[in-house]
Chain A
Amino acid sequence: MSFFSEKRSPKGIFTAINSLNKFPQQLLAKLCQDVVDALQYKGSVPQVSHYQSELEKNSIDLGKNEVQSTINVLFFLYRDANRVSNLDQKQFLEILQKQTGITNQAGKVLATIWEREKENLPSLSMPNVGKLIDFKWKVGVTFSSSISENLVTPFITVNISVSNTDELVQTHSFEMSVPEFKEFARNLKEINQLLEVI
């Protein structure tokens, strides 16, 4: 799904840009900067409530969802632009104008910040991050072996299938002893808790 290189617009982009168009120039510039900072892990994700109240001060009435969509769309655009090599300011602006219904003024703000920050954005493409497709497991007890006679101990064998960015599925198998499994379990539970909270 690439916007700047394949010109495919995600669902909802027009509505989001519509809301973005209503921002006063300075506030929009600040929001863009905040998003770019967050992408560099220099700051936290912009707060909807903050921007909503700033808009109100300018007599602009946007609901929570609308403000959220403007934040989302900026993340999307900057991240996507970062994936395309050598996307200059002019191209950035042109594509935005053609594909999204952004106003000239708003487009220029986004493009200026792109030009300024594009070298600083971290290499966000992680070609080796796949998606988890399948997780299988079995628990067995080894009751004898050539190495040790007495070690009656359970082993947990896991089979995971991961699809990479080219849609190829690779399956990996590994074994864990009980303490290793406990550590694995601890990590997964921690992730689960975090994702529930955010």
Chain B
Amino acid sequence: MELKHFDFFLNSLVKKLYHKDKSITNEYLQEGVIDSQLGSDQVISLVDTLEPILLQIGHSDLSQNALEKLLEPLELRQDFHQHFLKFWEQQRDEIRSIVRNELIFNDRLSGVSWRVDMKTNSKKISNINQPIAIVELLLSRNQQEREDTKSIMFEIDKTQISNLVNQIEEIESLLEKGIQQKN
């Protein structure tokens, strides 16, 4: 097996485990390494070895050191070993984000879009041509491997957005404190 095959396995298994790509079967993997000398038994064995590691490092957000320890008993070839470490370094943020999103069981915010309009309808003529923002929030929920999305649109004026930003800043400083305490 060459490095490119090993890399192919790592990438494909991440697609299978974290991106829930159902097309990544053992047959798919076999076809992907057809120019190697790997037999189907060896492919299965490799999958059985790599999968638990990939699952563990992602779900527990393990560090490079922790991964090293996990890889030790495998006695991988030096270049495969290094490649795995480098691979994890590159993938870690994205996988952490995927796992974190899996923890949001209800609706999560999947998109924000907005525009600013001039208000052209009001009880008082003097209110007209006041700027107003129209905000659309897209909320998504993972329902049985589909994603259901609903859209909520509302208008918000200067005063309201100012109040909202005050609250946002309160949340931000809370998060700052929280992160500092953790470190």
Contacts and interface: CB of A to CB of B under 8 A. Distances in A.
Contacts, number: 181
A154 interface: yes
A129 B153 contact: yes
Count class of interface residues, chain B: 35 or more
Contact of B59 (A16, A141, A149, A176): A149
B154 A132 contact: yes
B129 A195 contact: no
B175 A13 contact: no
Which secondary structure dominates chain B's binding surface?
mixed
Nearest to A136: B167
B158 A195 contact: yes
Contacts of B108: 174-177, 180
A84 interface: no
Q: Interface extent on A, as a size class?
A: 35 or more
Q: Which of A132, A145, A189 counts the most chain B CB atoms within 10 A? A: A132
Interface stretch (B2-10, B24-32, B37-45, B113-121): B113-121
A72 B99 CA distance: 51
Given A192-B161, A198-B116, A73 B156 contact: no
A151 B139 CA distance: 23
B65 interface: no
A126 B132 CA distance: 14
A141 B103 CA distance: 12
